[in-house]
Amino acid sequence: MKTITIGLLGLGTVGKGVVTLLQKQAAKIARTQDFRFKLKSVAVHNCAHHRNDNLPAGTILTDKVTDVVDDPEIQIVIEAMGTIEPAKVAICQAILNGKSIISANKDLLATAGDEILPLAKTAGVDFFYEASVAGGIPILRVLSSSLETDQITQITGIINGTANYVLTAMDREHKDYATALKAAQELGYAEADPTNDVQGIDATYKLIILSRFAFGQSLSLKDVPRRGITTISPAQLISAGQLGLKVKLLAVAKEENRQLFSFVGPAAIPASEPLAHVNGVQNAIAVQSDALGETTYTGPGAGAAPTANSILSDLLATGDDIVKGNCGREFNSYRKPVSAKPLTAAPQQYLITVEGTGNLLSIISSIPTLSWQQQATGRNYWSGLTPVISRDALEELLITLKRSGQKISYLPIANSWQPVLEKIEE
Q: Which is nearer to a second copy, 58 or 293 (CB)?
A: 293
Burial of 304 (0-12, 13-18, 19+ CB in 10 A): middle
Residue among 113, 130, 120, 84 at smallest CA distance from 99: 120
Q: Which of 73, 186, 193, 290 contacts a second copy by CB under 8 A?
A: 290
Sole binder of a second copy in the list 317, 327, 364, 385 (CB under 8 A): 317
Residues linked to residue 254 through DSSP beta bridges, in sequence order: 154, 261
Binding residue for a second copy, selected from 184, 247, 312, 346, defined by CB under 8 A: 312
Rule CB under 8 A: say whether 274 interacts with a second copy. yes
If binding is defined by CB under 8 A, does position 15 make contact with a second copy?
A: no
Nearest distance in Å: CB 206, a second copy: 17
Amino acid at 216: G
Among the residues of 80-200, which ranges form H helices? 87-96, 106-123, 139-141, 161-173, 177-186, 195-198
What angle is formed at CA 304 by the lines to CA 298 and CA 308, rounded to 5 degrees? 80
Between CA 406 and CA 401 the distance in angstroms is: 8
CA pair distance 283, 90, nearest whole angstrom: 30
Q: If binding means CB under 8 A, how many residues of this protein chain bind a second copy?
A: 51
CB 110, min distance to a second copy, A: 21
Specify the residue, 182 or 336, whose C-beta has the smaller distance to a second copy: 336
Question: Quick one: 396 exposed, middle or buried, by C-beta within 10 A (0-12, 13-18, 19+)?
Answer: middle
| Residue choice 292, 399, 420, 421 for contact with a second copy (CB under 8 A) | 292
Interface with a second copy (CB under 8 A), residue from 58, 293, 337, 368: 293
> Quick check: 25 binds a second copy (CB under 8 A)?
yes
For residue 3, give Cα distances in angstroms to 61, 76, 300, 319.
20, 12, 31, 9
Stretch that binds a second copy, among 71-79, 228-236, 284-292, 346-354 (CB under 8 A): 284-292
Would you count residue 78 as binding a second copy (CB under 8 A)? no
* Annotated catalytic residue 206: yes
Query: Smaller CB distance to a second copy: residue 137 or 184?
Result: 137
Interface with a second copy, residue 333, by CB under 8 A: yes
Catalytic option among 40, 88, 99, 206: 206
CA 382 to chain centre: 33
| 296 touches a second copy (CB under 8 A) | yes
Q: Where are the alpha helices (DSSP H) in 44-143?
A: 66-69, 87-96, 106-123, 139-141
Q: Which of 93, 259, 298, 380 is in the footprint of a second copy by CB under 8 A?
A: 298
- When asked if residue 146 is in the footprint of a second copy (CB under 8 A), the reply is yes
User: Of 3, 46, 54, 149, which lies in the binding site for a second copy, with binding defined by CB under 8 A?
Assistant: 149
Residue 153 in contact with a second copy, rule: CB under 8 A? no
**Stretch of residues binding a second copy (CB under 8 A), selected from 243-251, 255-263, 297-305, 363-371:** 297-305
Which member of 83, 326, 339, 418 binds a second copy (CB under 8 A)?
326
Q: Is 266 in the site for a second copy (CB under 8 A)?
A: no
- Residue 43, beta-bridge partner list: 9, 62
Question: What 3-state class would DSSP assign to 151?
Answer: coil
Q: Quick one: which H or E segment has residue 412?
A: strand 407-412
| Residue 76 interacts with a second copy (CB under 8 A): yes or no | no
C-alpha to C-alpha distance for 88 and 114, rounded to whole angstroms: 12
Smallest distance from a second copy to CB 387, Å: 27
Nearest-CA neighbor of 204 among 180, 172, 231, 228? 228
Report how far apart the first and last C-alpha atoms of the chain are (Å, whole number): 55
Binding flag, residue 122, a second copy (CB under 8 A): no
- Backbone phi, psi, residue 301, to 5°: -90, -10
Helices (H) and strands (E) in the chain, counts: 14, 16
- Among positions 65, 147, 264, 414, the unique one binding a second copy when judged by CB under 8 A: 147
Nearest distance from C-beta of residue 88 to a second copy, angstroms: 26
**Catalytic site residues?**
206
The binding site for a second copy (CB under 8 A) comprises 21, 24-25, 28-29, 31-33, 130, 136-138, 141-142, 145-151, 274, 277, 289-300, 305-306, 308-310, 312-313, 315-317, 324, 326, 333-336
